[in-house]
């Protein structure tokens, strides 16, 4: 912890996590049509678990860090993070069923601002004015980039009731709940890292990250896998048959998670999640086929705001 590079290593780790997560999302997208959304989500945890296990075993064998002492506080924080991460996906799917994809995405993107709130309340980590401004700018930018061509901005400005009067209240609740669960997941994983450091003086961030990913993905695989098996007994065979793409999705997901968790052990969750919005830029550039299509005015403003937010969160460090 005394090495000088530890202070800034969270930045490349977060950038790498966002890039790996972009690759994981692309792989998962191809699995969704055949497996369904929740089964494709399970693939992320189930097929990532072997890599997470190998990473823990490799660090232990190499002497990079022994087996730390785990306590009830660590388990509570980790369980909160793992389960709310699964719940976030479920709420987002429910929001999207309310016939307004634009608003579902927009409400879920309040995650970064909610991370700041939950971090302050639960972890007593208060972001500074520059960090708050960066979060707000990046959040608005992501919302603008989420709008489809055409009437997306008008739909967002008009509100949920303008699109579908029935169920608009549920859309707001589900969308905000999705963002809240994503935020709580980040805070939970950050809290677990802090609890582990308190119980094990001098534990290295990479050790905290490795064990956090292992325990979280094990719990998520058991809980989500058990729920799906109870409701869809044939899902196990479908997941096994799709093993090739599932290995890609799971491996990239595990790589991303290892980097996220290690960054959480170094910096507050609000900083990590704000910088993690660089994933939007990666995904957007891929979707635009590396500048082969021109940006609309709204998209240009959105990109500028996201970049401003990313620069702001790094500058305040």
Per DSSP, the residues of 238-307 read HHHHTHHHHHHHHHHHHHHHHHHHHHHTTS-HHHHHHHTTHHHHHHHHHHTTTTTSPPPHHHHHHHHHHH
Alpha-carbon gap, residue 250 to 269, rounded angstroms: 23
Extract the residue ranges of the chain whose pLDDT is less than 70.
1-7, 65, 93, 96-106, 146-169, 283-295, 315-317
The answer to whether 76 and 184 are in contact (CB under 8 A) is: no
What are the CA-CA distances from residue 13 to residues 5, 19, 266 (Å)? Answer: 12, 10, 10
- In this structure, what DSSP letter does residue 207 have? H
The predicted structure's pLDDT at residue 166: 47
The residue among 90, 37, 85, 48 whose CA lies nearest residue 253 is: 48
The predicted structure's pLDDT at residue 169: 66
Alpha-carbon gap, residue 221 to 286, rounded angstroms: 30
């Amino acid at each position: 912890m005394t090495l000088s590079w530890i202070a800034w290593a969270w930045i490349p780790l977060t950038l790498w996590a966002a890039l790996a997560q972009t690759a994981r999302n692309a792989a998962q997208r191809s699995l969704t049509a055949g497996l369904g959304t929740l089964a494709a989500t399970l693939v992320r945890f189930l097929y990532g678990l072997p890599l997470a296990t190998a990473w823990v075993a490799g660090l232990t064998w190499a002497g990079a860090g022994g087996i730390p002492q785990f306590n009830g506080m660590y388990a509570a924080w980790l369980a909160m993070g793992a389960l709310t991460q699964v719940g976030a996906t479920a709420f987002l799917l429910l929001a999207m069923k309310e016939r307004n994809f634009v608003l579902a995405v927009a409400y879920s993107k309040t995650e970064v601002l909610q991370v700041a709130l939950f971090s302050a309340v639960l972890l007593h980590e208060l972001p500074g004015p520059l960090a708050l401004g960066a979060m707000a700018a990046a959040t608005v930018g992501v919302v603008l980039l989420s709008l489809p061509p055409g009437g997306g901005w008008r739909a967002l400005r008009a509100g949920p009731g303008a699109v579908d009067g029935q169920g608009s209240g549920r859309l707001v609740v589900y969308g905000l709940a999705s963002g809240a669960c994503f935020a709580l997941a980040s805070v939970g994983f950050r809290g677990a890292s802090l609890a582990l450091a308190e119980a094990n003086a001098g534990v290295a961030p990479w050790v905290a990250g490795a064990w956090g990913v292992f325990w979280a993905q094990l719990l998520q695989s058991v809980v989500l896998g058990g729920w799906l098996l109870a409701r869809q007994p044939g899902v196990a065979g479908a997941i096994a048959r799709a093993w090739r793409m599932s290995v890609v999705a799971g491996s990239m997901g595990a790589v991303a998670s290892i980097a996220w968790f290690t960054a959480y052990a170094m910096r507050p969750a609000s900083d990590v999640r704000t910088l993690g919005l660089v994933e939007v830029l990666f995904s957007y550039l891929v979707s635009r086929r590396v500048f082969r299509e021109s940006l609309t005015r709204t998209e240009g403003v959105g990109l500028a705001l996201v970049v401003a937010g990313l620069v702001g969160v790094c500058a305040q460090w």
